[in-house]
């Protein structure tokens, strides 16, 4: 008889939704309870993103010449305007000198043509003057003026080509290894000499499901939109990262293959330690790396919250035990909102002020009479 009763009790305990009969005279199980109340909750959403450099430049030779010098350390950070490569200068210096001579010759002949034109115009009112002479002098003067303009342009082009023998950094950033070694002939068709990738700040791009993006936009529509959220990232090694980013771009179209929308945040990427001359600068975010992205509301919102430990789940969803009449536990289905690891935000299923069982919940079944007491505060509170 006792064995049969014990088997029934064990079976009842294993069946969800079946009240566990209390032995006659046994005290009610002790549980800790809290009241559902409005709490300040910081809403967060987690995504996976990729680091992307804001600027990227492939350095290419703009003239054909021998590569004479490389003036940077591969993998180091360079500043805008730094001299990186020197190409052979002698042929281009010669071209500049030649064009300067051509311009000087044409300028002198233009000055003489002006004198001849003035003289012909002066004689035009005398018996020695002829209209044809004036016309020829004017045409010659105009032709030489045009030649002077051409020579000036050619000299300017020669000087530009001479400047191109010095390859300078157009942006600040980390420079790659050199693709071409000293002594080789380089030209615009030789391909990149090296690549510079900007380091600070960086972009963080991350895809968001279109439904999630719509929910985020509705949630923050009356709080300033994307200006009301902060973007936190966690580097691949899982370390903490202090700078906070802001969303500055949302793709105008939804991906047809993944039903996601690409968002982009801008975030600082300062050096991990003071830079030392001749050594690479270490930073937490590396172009192309995957990072964990958390989109967090700047201001907390008031929501109905209970301890996360009070929420249980089964195949039908989430539920809690509410303290009813006669201290009986009542199972209540709930819908969770934007929750945190410590606080469960209740979107539906509870009312403010209702008493929820949060401790000793493993002893409770629907209809169980309990001995309720306030929940033990977490350590440190």
- Does any domain span residue 228? yes
- Does any domain span residue 73? no
- Does any domain span residue 355? yes
Of 238, 266, 300, the position where a domain reaches its end is 300
Provide the residue count of the chain.
381
Rounded Cα distance, 238 and 236, in Å: 5
Rounded Cα distance, 23 and 16, in Å: 19
Q: Which DSSP symbol is given to 166? A: E
Walk along the chain (381 residues) and give the pLDDT tens digit of each residue: 344 444 444 444 444 444 444 555 568 888 888 888 888 777 778 889 999 999 999 999 999 999 999 999 888 899 999 999 999 999 999 999 999 999 999 889 888 888 877 777 777 666 655 777 777 778 988 888 999 999 999 999 999 999 999 999 999 999 999 999 999 999 999 899 999 999 999 999 999 998 888 888 887 777 777 777 889 998 877 778 889 899 989 999 998 888 999 999 999 999 988 877 667 788 889 999 999 998 887 777 788 888 888 899 888 889 999 988 888 888 989 888 777 777 888 888 888 888 898 888 888 888 888 888 888 765 445
- pLDDT given at position 297: 78
**Cβ atoms of 233 and 241 closer than 8 Å:** yes
* 295 and 227 inside one domain: yes
The pair phi, psi for residue 137, each rounded to 5°, is -65, -40
Residue-wise DSSP of 254-293: --TTT-EEEEEEEE---BSS---TTSPPPBS--TT-EEEE
30-35 vs 371-374, strand pairing mode: parallel
Rounded Cα distance, 379 and 381, in Å: 6
Rounded Cα distance, 275 and 200, in Å: 14
Work out how many domains the chain is built from and give that number. Answer: 3
Rounded Cα distance, 311 and 341, in Å: 12
Task: Answer positive or negative: Cα dihedral of 113, 119, 125, 129.
Answer: negative
Tokens of 379: 């350590």
Give the residue from 284, 285, 60, 74 showing the smallest Cα distance to 174: 74
The pair phi, psi for residue 32, each rounded to 5°, is -100, 135
User: Which CATH number do you get for residue 356?
Assistant: 2.40.420.20
355 strand-pairing partners: 35
The pair phi, psi for residue 130, each rounded to 5°, is -135, 145
Rounded Cα distance, 262 and 203, in Å: 12
Give the residue from 34, 36, 26 showing the smallest Cα distance to 369: 26
Helix (H/G/I), strand (E/B), else coil: 157? helix
* 291 and 306 inside one domain: no
* 307 and 296 inside one domain: no
* 295 and 320 inside one domain: no
* 204 and 275 inside one domain: yes
Q: Which domain holds residue 102?
A: 90-164
In order of 70, 164, 230, 289, 306, the CA distances from 74 in angstroms are 10, 21, 35, 20, 56
Tokens of 139: 């045409």
The whole-model pTM stands at: 0.69
- pLDDT given at position 352: 87
Tokens of 17: 């939704």
- Does any domain span residue 130? yes
Give the residue from 45, 91, 87, 54 showing the smallest Cα distance to 70: 87
Tokens of 231: 């973007």
Rounded Cα distance, 33 and 354, in Å: 10
Rounded Cα distance, 175 and 203, in Å: 18
- Does any domain span residue 30? yes
User: Which CATH number do you get for residue 134?
Assistant: 1.10.287
Helix (H/G/I), strand (E/B), else coil: 167? strand
């Amino acid at each position: 008889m006792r064995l049969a009763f014990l088997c029934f009790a064990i079976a009842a305990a294993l069946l969800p939704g079946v009240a566990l009969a209390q032995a006659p005279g046994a005290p009610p199980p002790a549980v800790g309870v809290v009241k559902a109340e409005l709490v300040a909750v910081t809403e967060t959403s987690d995504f996976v993103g990729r680091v992307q450099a804001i600027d990227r430049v492939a350095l290419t030779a703009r003239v054909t010449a021998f590569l004479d010098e490389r003036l940077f350390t591969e993998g180091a950070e360079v500043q805008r305007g730094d001299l990186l490569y020197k190409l052979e200068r002698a042929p281009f210096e010669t071209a500049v000198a030649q064009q300067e001579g051509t311009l000087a010759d044409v300028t002198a002949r233009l000055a003489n043509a002006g004198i001849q034109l003035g003289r012909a115009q002066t004689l035009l009112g005398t018996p020695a003057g002829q209209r044809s002479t004036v016309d020829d002098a004017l045409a010659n003067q105009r032709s030489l003026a045009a030649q002077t303009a051409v020579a000036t342009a050619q000299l300017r082009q020669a000087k530009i080509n001479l400047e191109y023998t010095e390859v300078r950094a157009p942006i600040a950033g980390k420079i790659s290894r050199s693709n071409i070694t000293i002594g080789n002939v380089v030209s615009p068709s030789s391909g990149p000499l090296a690549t510079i990738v900007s380091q600070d700040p960086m972009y963080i791009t991350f895809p968001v499901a279109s439904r999630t993006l719509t929910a985020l936009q509705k949630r923050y529509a009356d709080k300033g939109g994307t200006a009301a959220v902060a973007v936190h990232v966690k580097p691949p090694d899982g370390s903490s990262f202090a700078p906070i980013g802001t969303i500055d771009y949302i793709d105008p179209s939804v991906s047809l293959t993944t039903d996601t929308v690409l968002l982009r945040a801008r975030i600082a990427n300062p050096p991990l330690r003071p830079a030392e001359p001749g050594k690479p600068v270490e930073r937490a975010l590396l172009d192309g790396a995957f990072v964990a992205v958390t989109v967090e509301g700047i201001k907390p919102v008031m929501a109905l919250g209970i301890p996360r430990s009070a929420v249980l789940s089964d195949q039908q969803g989430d539920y809690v035990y509410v303290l009813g009449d006669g201290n009986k536990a009542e199972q209540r289905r709930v819908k969770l909102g934007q929750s945190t690891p410590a606080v469960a935000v209740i979107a539906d299923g509870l009312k403010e002020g209702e008493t929820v069982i949060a401790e000793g919940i493993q002893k409770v079944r629907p209809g169980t009479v309990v001995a309720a007491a306030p929940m033990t505060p977490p350590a440190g509170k």
